Amino acid sequence: MDTILRINNLFAGYGKECVLNDISFEVEAGKKVCIVGESGSGKSTLLKSIHGFAGVSVTGGSIEIERNILLGIVPQNPGGSFNPIRTYKAQIGEALKSNNIDFKIEEVEKTLQTLGLSDAKRALRARPYELSGGMNQRMAIATTMLLEPGILLCDEVTSALDVKTAGIVVEQLLEINRLRKTTILMVTHHLGIASKMADYIGIMKSGKMLEYGPAKEILDNPQNEYTKNLLKALPRLKVN
């Protein structure tokens, strides 16, 4: 398998404050990777530095991305990335145009259907404020997917959603990965979600990558004390 993203001894932060401390890992093409960490662990900063956000400054190390690969990012709160009173059709059209991609209605509808929005025409006519959080989140993923990114970066995409909707969104991310072979890099605080979708899991704490490896290894045989605690703390359904 080809390595699509390689991060070498990355140090990054905001201004003088260093948030990420010597992070290294590799992502293979077509794989699903979840970075798990609690709030303040630096996982969102990691995502931002990979995507090249202006506010994040890399002070050491390197981020290598395979050539001609587009990065797509889905934010935690889709409400902030759409204009609430413009139709999705107009906004998606604009996003495509600015990336020099033609707006093909069949293509758009197909993508929306992959994400479980069966009535794609109605969804396109809708405005963000008219739709629920889960619907908006799926529209955000769809918009990003239309840009045909090589890597889909997801920042806590499920944490603002209901359990039920979160499950559906995770299913659909898996579906996208299966159909289009899109590499997914997701950060989440929910180990359960990671166990459900990830091929590789990284555990982060206070800016450091404590463990990184195949999901099965991390979950079944964690080496780090913190990972063990995290696994123990996760509530599990108890029937009798």
64 versus 162: smaller Cβ distance to other proteins: 162
Q: By C-beta, is 39 or 100 nearer to other proteins?
A: 39
- From the CB of 71, what's the least distance to other proteins, in Å? 26
| Cβ-based nearer residue to other proteins, 30 or 192 | 192
Instruction: Say whether residue 54 binds other proteins (CB under 8 A).
Output: no
Tokens at 28, concatenated: 């293979």
Q: Does 190 bind other proteins (CB under 8 A)?
A: yes
Q: Which is nearer to other proteins, 15 or 80 (CB)?
A: 15
> What phi and psi values does residue 159 have, to the nearest 5 degrees?
-75, -20
Which pairing describes strands 183-188 and 151-155: parallel, antiparallel, or unpaired?
Answer: parallel
The C-alpha atoms of residue 169 and residue 137 are separated, in whole angstroms, by: 8
Residues 6+ apart with CB under 8 A from 218: 201, 203, 211, 227
Q: Which residues pair with 70 in a beta bridge?
A: none
Residue 196 C-beta: closest distance to other proteins, Å: 6
The reply on whether position 101 binds other proteins by CB under 8 A is no
Q: One symbol per residue from 194 to 233: x for binding other proteins (CB under 8 A), - otherwise; what is it?
A: -xx----------------------xx--------xxxxx
CA dist 101 and 77 (Å) reads 25
Q: At what angle do helices 163-180 and 133-146 cross, to 10 degrees?
A: 10
CB nearer other proteins, residue 179 or residue 237: 237
Residues that bind other proteins (CB under 8 A): 15, 38-39, 162-164, 166-168, 170, 189-193, 195-196, 219-220, 229-240
